[in-house]
Amino acid sequence: MKFPPIVARELRVTARRPSCYWIRAALALGATGIGVFLYLANLDAAPQFLGKHIFSGLAVLAMLFCLYAGRHLTADCLSHEKREGTLGLLFLTDLKGHDVVLGKLSATSLSGFYSLLAILPVLALTLLLGGVTSGEFWRVAIVLANTFLFSLAVGMFASSLTRQSRWTLGLNLLLMVFIVGLPAACFAVLGLWLPAHRFFPQLLLSCPFYSLYLCSHLVYYLQRPAFWWSVGIIHGLSWLLLGAASWIVPHCWQDKPRQNARLTGFIQRRAVTASAGYRKRLLNRNPFYWLAARSRFKPLLVWGVLAFIGAWWLWATWQFGTLWLTESNSGTNLAVIVMFNVALKLWVPLEASRQLAEDRHAGSFELLLSTPLTAREIFQGQWLALRRLFLWPAMFGYAVAIVFMLVATQHSPADQRDIVTAWLCGLFVFALDVTALVWTAMYAALITNSPNHATLVAATRILIAPSVLLLAIIVLTRAAFSSEPTAHFEAYLLWWVGLSVAADLIYGLTARRRLINGFRELACSSRPTRTPEKAR
């Protein structure tokens, strides 16, 4: 078997899947809807800038899609083959590392690439509104395609290094932050700390968003070499990562013998002795509690995230505020609360679905449900594990939020009632969202393929859907009454609370009812099987 027939076969198999057509149509309709939404949101803009605003908004969203879709599609493609033991079978033939990597790349990326192509005609429609040149459109198309390839390469390289899906996703994100975020952070730090406030734009050449910024008509003609250097560096990094993955794959699929077995055994015996009391305490309370909370030091990760957010707040307060907890620091306080809110609302459903998804994939529920352990005890153990992990950090976040609320009321006595109402509504919605996210994620873990997919389903139903509806209400109200959002603050706050509570009750209660009434059927249902084409 040679390289071209492998890729051709994978492309034919993937192109014949019905989901490939449905995803492409859904992305095109979604881009059209977002374009109409942006048009209504910019009705008060000058006619010569209307097309530019819509084009810029769609381009940024398409960039986020490329950065996410590529990593998501290739994040677990090679590591899953290692866990299943099928990667070694491929190397029993005369296939090389680049054959496997490029074949998997072709099989996993086709639907995402078709989706990107479906977005481009919607971008091109803004040419009819004015404010956008044809050269700007084609430069954005080049940058999006280049970014999509780069994202695929990052996911493929991370997947070639590890076996476990959690390690792959973490390494995937860390690698993206290292390549894209670290140079940009150095750019900002050097510009702020150097005495002459001199910036070095060369540090941004590996950032896709910098390439997107250079696509603008005026900026491109002022910095044309920087644009092509940025595109070239990102494209070169993509092929460098794919080449590294091609070299790693043939050397990492075998099971390696343990090195220093005596030292490893000593460390394991000490760890078992140290954790014996911890394991006994959890098992006596709830057996599934021990399964879901076996990692003794995982709560330290949550506190580590809180420490990072706190360090950022201290740095921002020192950099942008003159005094501690002053009115000028209210934006920093709000940013800290938003960061904590987003981090916890994404982490909680991931942990709620992880153990259930892994047990279902491994077929462990057939053994668990043959014991006296009931479904309610399983849910109770999962809740105990989540409480051990997130309860005290959440309480600490609540205390910090109340302090920030009191500070905001002291410096804005005229708006004291609105500030207190908004903060209390936020605290109430946070608690309700977290509860609904746990139940929805546990249910999604039994009907999807992975904890990441279950987290995405839960976040879409509980967090994204109400936010999109609220944003649509704000835009339509602004287009109908030509008023600023602050003029209807109380009405929008009521809409936000109502939509959030409705989503929590509808999806959360539905998931809870289905889990309690049909847990055995869901847990022991047939797991997703891999077709021979996908195994290749």
The CA distances from residue 127 to 38, 64, 134, 135, 209, in Å, are 15, 22, 7, 11, 22
pLDDT band at 529 (very low <50, low <70, confident <90, very high): very low
DSSP secondary structure of 187-198: HHHHHHHSTT--
Residue 486 has pLDDT above 70, yes or no: no
What is the reported pLDDT for 81?
74
How far is residue 77's CA from residue 536's CA, in Å, rounded to a whole number? Answer: 11
Q: What is the DSSP string of 285-326?
A: H-HHHHHHT--TTHHHHHHHHHHHHHHHHHHHHHHH-SSTT-
pLDDT value, residue 534: 40
pLDDT confidence of residue 350: 87
Residues 375 and 467 in one domain: yes
Q: Is residue 133 part of a domain?
A: yes
- pLDDT at residue 262 is higher than 60: no
Q: Are residues 203 and 305 in the same domain?
A: no
Least trusted range by pLDDT, from 221-225, 353-357, 489-493, 525-529: 525-529
Contacting residues for 237 by C-beta, under 8 A, at least 6 apart? 150, 153, 179, 206
User: How confident is the prediction for the chain on average, in pLDDT?
Assistant: 79
| Same domain for 330 and 445 | yes
Range of the domain at 34: 1-253
Q: Are residues 335 and 472 in the same domain?
A: yes
Distance CA 327, CA 453 (A): 41
For residue 217, being part of any structural domain is answered with yes
Residues 423-454 pLDDT 10s: 899 999 999 999 999 999 999 988 887 777 88
- Least confident interval from 326-330, 390-394, 473-477: 326-330
Q: How many domains does the chain have?
A: 2
Of 124 and 487, the structure prediction assigns the larger pLDDT to 124
Within 8 A by CB and 6+ apart from 457, the residues are 440, 441, 444, 448
The confidence score (pLDDT) of residue 428 equals 93
Query: Do the domain assignments include residue 46?
Result: yes
Which amino acid type is present at position 428? Answer: F
First CA to last CA across the chain, in angstroms?
Answer: 13
So what's the pLDDT on residue 528? 45
Looking at residue 3, what is its pLDDT?
Answer: 47
Residue 362: predicted pLDDT: 73
Mean predicted confidence (pLDDT) in 489-497? 86
Domain annotation covers residue 279:
no
Residues 365-389 have a mean pLDDT of: 86
Exposed/middle/buried for residue 93 (C-beta within 10 Å: 0-12, 13-18, 19+): exposed
What residues contact 338, with CB distance under 8 A and at least 6 apart? none
Q: Looking at residue 146, what is its pLDDT?
A: 92
Dump pLDDT digits (tens) for 118-147: 888 888 888 888 788 888 999 999 999 999
Specify whether 305 is located in the same domain as 201.
no
86-102: pLDDT as tens digits = 776 666 666 777 777 88
Whether residue 493 contacts residue 353, with contact meaning beta carbons closer than 8 Å, is answered with: no
Residue 263 lies in a domain: no
User: Of residues 145 and 103, which shows the higher confidence score?
Assistant: 145
* pLDDT classification of 482: cutoffs 50, 70, 90: low
More confident residue, 367 or 446: 446
* Residue 498 pLDDT level (bands cut at 50, 70, 90): very high
154-208 confidence digits (pLDDT tens)? 888 888 887 776 677 777 777 887 888 777 777 766 666 666 656 677 778 888 8
Q: Give percent above pLDDT 90 in the chain.
A: 16
- Tell me, yes or no, whether 349 and 491 share the same domain: yes
* pLDDT the model gives residue 323: 42
Instruction: For residues 374 and 424, state if they share a domain.
Output: yes
Quick check: is 339 in a domain?
yes
Question: Which band of pLDDT confidence, cut at 50, 70 and 90, is reported for residue 461?
Answer: very high
DSSP H stretches of helix in 195-260: 208-213, 217-222, 224-252
Indicate whether 462 pLDDT > 90.
Answer: yes
- pLDDT tens-digit profile of 386-425? 999 999 999 999 998 898 888 888 776 656 788 888 889 9
CA atoms within 13 A on the CB side of 516: 9
Smallest CA-to-CA distance from 79 within 244, 252, 243 is with 252
Higher pLDDT pick, 61 / 100 = 61
Largest CA-CA distance found in the chain, in angstroms, rounded: 76
Question: Is the domain of 318 the same as that of 428?
Answer: yes
Let me know if residue 461 belongs to a domain. yes
User: Which span out of 77-81, 182-186, 326-330, 354-358 was modeled with the highest average pLDDT?
Assistant: 354-358
Among residues 351, 348, 504, 494, the alpha carbon closest in space to that of 433 is found at 504
- For the chain, how many residues are written? 536
In this structure, are 244 and 293 located in the same domain? no
Are 413 and 483 contained in the same domain?
yes
Residues 315 and 247 in one domain: no
- Statement to judge: residues 205 and 63 lie in one domain: yes
Q: Tens of pLDDT along 224-240?
A: 899 999 999 999 999 99
Q: What percent of the chain has pLDDT over 70?
A: 82
Residue 500 lies in a domain: yes
Is residue 324's pLDDT more than 50?
no
Spatial contact of 115 and 136, defined as CB atoms under 8 Å apart: no
pLDDT bucket at 269, cuts 50 / 70 / 90? low
Regarding predicted confidence, which is higher, 363 or 504?
A: 504
What pLDDT shows up at residue 505?
Answer: 94
